[in-house]
Structure 1
Amino acid sequence: MTDYEKLIDKLRKLEAVFSGTNYEGERTAASVAIDKIREKLKSIEAVDPPIPYKFSMNDMWSRKLFVALLRRYGLVPYRYPKQRHTTVMVRVSPRFVDETLWPEFLELGKVLQEYLTEITDKVIAQSIYADTSEAETRSEPARLESS
């Protein structure tokens, strides 16, 4: 199994955890998981109506993942004119955000970031320079006193 296939498998398993299904499998299980979460969203919205939320994402990968999650659950991401491209707006139930959307985003984001970091390190090590460690931290030089 390639690294890419392992990533997809891991993301699908996380999806099953967040949907509350026992299925671990192919597209059918993913579809069942999405349907369960959409049902949960509808039941939550009945008692906890949607409100506008503003999310700020640090990077393009997080934003793409978050927007994909929103769309998968039938939520419509948007942005107002003059808002940064790192901003994502959505009307959603606060309870759904707290119980499902945000925890799932954090877990999936963690897995995706680990994968992207690993791939980036491999590409840099193989094509540019083998040492992909962070820059060292040094203490600041002493200031010269002025007279």
Structure 2
Amino acid sequence: MVDGRRACTHERLRRARSSLSSLVSAGTLFTYLDPALAKAGPLPSTNNMIEGGVNSQLRGVLRNHRGLTSVKRVKAVFWWCHAHSGDARTAREKLATMPTDADIDFLFSVYSASPSREDGGPEWGDRAVWEDLHHRDPYPFWLD
């Protein structure tokens, strides 16, 4: 009992179940399981092929080589991208286009510097700002 009213013990769980139920009945969730859509062939369970194809491979390379310095981690990512690009150039030609340690240090210094305005606030576009991605009000932005 809350304020003299009956209240569910697991209100958040009931809301989540209701939300999933309404999305499934509307046909907007698990659409890849629809047999009518799969007539031309199997559909992927996600539309974000870069997460499972490229990004997870890069994270795997960095995870397998955890002891590398930041410069060598950047070079490992560059080398993986060059090796899997399908480029017909030789390794010598690819190495000629790879960034040097000085290039990487310069990029780190440029992009890690925090430019600020006269009033001390961050410059527009210098990095993600928490308030840009999260709303302080209790109502979700999609209800506006």
TM norm structure 2:
0.25
Give the structure with the higher percent strand. 1
Larger Rg: 2
When normalised by structure 1's length, the TM-score is 0.25
